[in-house]
Structure 1
Amino acid sequence: MKKVPTLDIRRYDTDREAFVAELGAAYREFGFCCISGHGIPVEAVDGAYDAFKRFFALPDDTKRKYHIPGGGGARGYTPFKVETAKDSKFADLKEFWHIGREIPRDSKFADVMPPNVWPNEVPDFEDKGYGIYEALDNLGARVLRALALHIELPEAFFDDKIDSGNSILRPIHYPPIVQDDVPNVRAGAHEDINFITLLVGASAEGLEVLTREGEWLPITTEGDAIVVNIGDMLQRLTNHVYPSTTHRVTNPQNANARKPRYSVPFFLHPNPDVVLDVLPSCVTPDNPKRYPEPITAHEYLLERLREIKLI
């Protein structure tokens, strides 16, 4: 059976050419790869998960204090069964929190990147949460350098396009499933909106990726590996050289359905004013330009948030 590969990112410094070739091949095939050797301490991951679990254990009315009506879920808390996968009839079985980038409030992006809110009831939520945000932001930049080299761009091509990126850390809680015939799944089949997504420490089975052959392939990680997948913005920019692959979180068919599932994806976004226009190097006679009209990252994000019923 096919398997999404796990690659050690330390090879970027010791065995660059082969690493870049293997990474590029994994993304061309699956749109997904598991990254090990990233250097994010297990204590940082466990500490963040612990803080997030303590927040989700709070009473519903306490959590709802941090829901921002009209905010499109950009910051703070989004209650259970709000987000709905594009074209799905049923809302996802999850609640979540959004942590965004801390930027100066006089930044040109301040109007589209609101300040974070933090739950008073969990004093270490901010420290642990923003710590893992920054660690994943740095790792994502390293992955993008390798992806740039694979498509013959300068190594630093993405650096100034993500340094004020509207990136989001999303701690998710999927509560235990208490009945057998729920029509909803924990997260309906979807593609991500952003450049790349980094998923740290998924605590249970359920993540599946749709292969080119149309089969659902479960993804399980080894050790401290982080799952990194391509989002629609990078697919568009690279003219589908890097595919944004459909994935879902299924309901366990065993006793784990009665357990909660926690997951912390980091959605790495470009700066809001980055223009998503197909890279000339990704246009060939076999792969003609698929998107004649450029669009800014922010306009594209708003378009997609409407589709998933967050705004």
Structure 2
Amino acid sequence: MKSKFSLLYLQGNKCFYIGFFFLCCMVVVKEMPRVDISTQPSNFGKFVDRAFRDVKPVIVSGFDPELDRTARALMDDFVNFSELPDDNKREYCYPKLAGQFGFTPQDTEQSGYAGGKDSAGGKLQEHREHFMIGSQLPEGHPLLDICPPFIYFDAKNAVGFPFPDMVTNGNRLVELVEDARMRMYAGLEQARGLPPGSIAFIVPYGTTVVRLHHYPGIRGDIVKEYEVNGVKAIDMLLPSGELKKGLVYAADHTDIDCTAWLLRANKPGFAQRDKTGNVERFTAGKDYEGSAVVNVGDYGKFMSNPDWTLGAAPFGTVQDGGYGSGVHWVEINTETMQDPRFSIVAFGHNRPTVVVCDKIDRIVRPNIASVVRRVIPEVDRRGVRESEALYARLAEIGYLGSTEAERLENLAGMLEALRPLPSDREVVKEILGWERTQPEDSPYKGRLGQFYERRNT
């Protein structure tokens, strides 16, 4: 006969196992899709293509170890830069270019996109500052004569900068990311049966940029925690007595590039909504170390529609089975918010001269398209370039100034600098010819040509 104690023990054990079973059923750990860049190109491309169609980011690993070493060194220098007094940091702030050049202080820019009822951006307050570093073109490169002056912070603009290695490492990181982007796009071409170079030659010399984010530590009393359209936010009473409402690290937004590469982050916070409306939140550390979280933007649909005839879908949507930029944001971790958060993101934009798109009204909202028409009233509708739409989009989300007059002035200057431009065919021909003249040990020897040589063999 079993004792009362034994029965209680068995019943307790039973309850424990039943409870444990239900706990296991309730807790589902979602892993972000992962793939090694050294995977056979067509298989690699199929994996990435599937994730992008589902509006999901993908973790890509297997890069040249130099990429991770360079990102580490760059992060160390940026941490030191972030500790400078605000007045010193503001010496490298260029308000007229509002965030696309050098340093951008807090309260200058909002990521929140103008997405109507699905956007929380207008109700949230970002807590961050950042620094932009672009690539440099080698002396004599054809794009130096073709492109407008680069507005990204590079070594030419870094005279007297207190951390010169930060700029050098940033320039090098851009080159390494561009090489990785070309490999990714070549894989997508093979997976989709596209001619070599259809997507890969989107990667330009000079329009990939590294953005270094600093989310300063926050001290105060949390008054309220809540969600706005799925975005976690907090109201906080600061020691000064100021009440900060709707604090996030970065508000919800879509991307205006081709792909964004999250290379490092010392703390979690990244979250994204997929095409089904499901929100996934990801950890730091294991997700980013030695790899990159790659998110598709595909602004202008140059990847979805590589024949470049279908125009673009509205922001944040997927059209005709193509790619779409998922709405994503960075939340404040209330457990570790007293310590700063740092991250490095590389944005890969379209090449400086892009294919003619005769459907600008589908790329930008009609009111912004009308701004473009007012700035350049004589523009041939069939000759509007996607770059102009991109700058119009920058104006829309506040990159180009806070008032309409500022936006029109800055936009007019940028658009004027873009014209007249040669055709893409002419640009490619110039670059291929220049590459052939480079020494055999030059990193630019055949860099773009490899895709066209494959096409012709």
Are 1:144 and 2:185 matched, yes or no?
Answer: yes
> Which residue is 1:212 aligned to?
275
Shift of 1:114: 5.7
Give matches, 1:63-82, under 5 Å.
63-82=89-108
Gaps of 5+ in 1: 279-289
* Equivalent position amino acid for 1:64 in 2: R
C-alpha distance in structure 2 between counterparts of 1:159 and 1:107, whole Å: 23
Taking structure 1 as reference, are residues 297 and 219 closer, same or farther at Cα in structure 2, changes over 3 Å only? Answer: farther
Q: 1:235 to 1:250 in 2, by over 3 A?
A: farther
Deviates more, 1:160-169 or 1:221-230: 160-169
1:26 counterpart (19, 42, 51): 51
Identical-residue share of aligned pairs (%):
26
| Distance (Å, rounded) in 2 between the aligned partners of 1:111 and 1:47 | 28
Which one is further off, 127-136 or 83-92?
A: 83-92
Which residue number corresponds to residue 343 of structure 2?
A: 263
Pair 207,156 (structure 1): closer, same or farther in 2 beyond 3 Å: same
Decide whether aligned partners of structure 1 residues 158 and 20 sit closer, same or farther in structure 2, where only a CA change above 3 A counts. Answer: closer
**Structure 2 runs not aligned, ≥5 long:** 1-27, 115-120, 223-234, 236-243, 305-312, 365-380, 401-457
Contact 1:96/1:172, CA 8 A, preserved across alignment: yes
Name the CA shift for 1:173/1:6 in 2 (closer, same or farther; >3 Å): same
Q: Which one has a bigger Cα radius of gyration?
A: 2
1:39-118 map, 5 Å? 39-41=64-66, 42-84=68-110, 85-87=112-114, 88-89=121-122, 90-103=124-137, 106-111=144-149, 113=151, 116=154, 117-118=157-158
Normalized per residue, the structure richer in helix is 2
8 A contact 1:40–1:135 mirrored in 2: no
Q: 1:185 to 1:227 in 2, by over 3 A?
A: same
CA distance in 2, matches of 1:75, 1:233: 21
Question: Equivalent residue of 1:171, what SS?
Answer: strand
**Higher mean displacement: 194-203 or 223-232:** 223-232
Contact 2:132 2:152 in 1 (8 A): no
Distance 2:352 2:344 in 1: 23
Give the Å deviation of 1:230.
0.6
* TM-score normalized by the length of structure 1: 0.86
Contact 2:127–2:216 under 8 Å retained in 1: yes
Q: Does 1:233 align with 2:299?
A: yes
Given the alignment, which residue of 31, 34, 46 partners 1:6?
A: 34
- Does the 8 Å contact 1:100/1:168 carry over to 2? yes
Q: CA deviation at 1:80?
A: 1.0
Rate the CA distance shift 1:55–1:274 in 2: closer, same or farther, 3 A.
same
Distance across 2 between alignment mates of 1:73 and 1:291: 22
Q: Distance in 2 between matches of 1:86 and 1:161?
A: 24
Q: Count how many residue pairs are aligned between Structure 1 and Structure 2.
A: 296
Change (3 A) 1:97 1:25: same
Cα offsets for 1:161-212 (capped at 9, x unmatched)? 3223522110110111223224121000101101111110111100001022
Q: State the shift of 1:276 in Å.
A: 6.7
CA deviations 1:201-236 (Å, max 9, x no partner) are: 111100001022322201231642210111141646
Q: Which residue matches 1:121? A: 162
Moved more, 99-108 or 17-26: 99-108
Residues in 2 aligned to 1:277 and 1:34: alpha-carbon distance in whole angstroms = 32
Q: Distance in 1 between matches of 2:58 and 2:256?
A: 17
What letter is aligned with 1:193? I
Residues 149 and 296 of structure 1: is their aligned pair in 2 closer, same or farther, counting only changes over 3 Å?
farther
Map Cα deviations across residues 45-80 of structure 1 (whole Å, 9 max, x no partner): 211100111111111000000111312322111111
Provide the residue aligned with 2:10 in structure 1.
none
Larger RCO, structures 1/2 (Cα 8 Å, 6+ apart): 1
RMSD over equivalenced CA pairs, Å: 2.5
- Greater shift, 245-254 or 225-234, is seen at 225-234
Q: Residues of 1 paired with 2:101 and 2:65: CA distance?
A: 24
Residues 123-159 of structure 1 show CA distances to partners (whole Å, capped at 9, x for unaligned) of: 3212222121211121112112122333332232234
Counterparts in 2 of 1:219 and 1:264: CA distance versus 1, 3 Å: same
